[in-house]
Structure 1
């Protein structure tokens, strides 16, 4: 088992990562009958893309001897109706390091081939921006 989700009521869930014991809460968004006091389930999907891309770049950067600490990603999720779904995810990476063109190309390719990127439905538009120092 990977995780256990418990419905807390009020359109809120608690999510337990079984191996580590870490938890997080989700809330329905304001535009869908919720309070919007925590990540929504679709927020976690969009944010998961940035997490996966950054993790995969971190693995490759370690192999290349490049330090990515301090790198950030800003995520913007756009919803569509009929059916209600994620229609677009924008991720903007800001790297506090300088890297040569070859290293950038390798890391960007690694990010764009992460498992979450491949797992998202092809109808979800993905706009990825890499800002290097």
Structure 2
């Protein structure tokens, strides 16, 4: 089954339609690469995908532990390198509003590192992941 259909809209912008849900995502080239920067860039989406994947995997594990991650946030910073232009680093800072239990913290942090996007990214991309437990 097709996952998505991507259409080039002109002016360095794309529309991606998720076939199962009909959800649309717009991407724009970033300002530093000839674009308008009016939407996520494709490389922004890669960095953001890592954070959303990690939260999703932690939420599945938390649910199995009868815990709720609602309200958890992740601040994502993407660092680009030149020649070739590529993502060199992804920094993700999680704000976890859940528990003081060390075992739960350790379990969820280890679980986050097993998300499929994390395993799919090239090992040369530095991943700086931090958790702040409240």
| Partner Cα separation in structure 1 for residue 67 and residue 133 of structure 2 | 13
Aligned residues: 133
1:37-66 Cα deviation digits (max 9, x unpaired): 000000000000000000000000000011
1:9 aligns with 2:10: yes
Normalising by structure 2, we get a TM-score of 0.98
Secondary structure in structure 1 of the residue aligned to 2:45 = helix
SS at match of 1:38: coil
Q: By how many angstroms is 1:93 displaced?
A: 0.2
The equivalent of 1:128 in structure 2 is 129
How far apart are the structure 2 equivalents of 1:106 and 1:3? 33
User: Which residue number in structure 1 is paired with residue 107 of structure 2?
Assistant: 106
CA distance in 2 between partners of 1:116 and 1:99 (Å) = 28
Shift of 1:97: 2.0
**TM-score by structure 1 length?**
0.99
2:28 maps to which residue? 27
Does 2:71 correspond to 1:70? yes
Displacement of 1:99 after TM fit? 3.6
Q: Is residue 2:58 matched to residue 1:50?
A: no
* Alpha-carbon distance in 1 for matches of 2:102, 2:6: 43
How many Å apart are 1:127 and its aligned residue? Answer: 0.1
Q: Which consecutive aligned stretches of 4+ in structure 1 deviate over 2 angstroms post-superposition?
A: none
The RMSD of aligned alpha carbons is 0.6
Structure 2: 5+ residue stretches without partners: none
Gaps of 5+ in 1: none
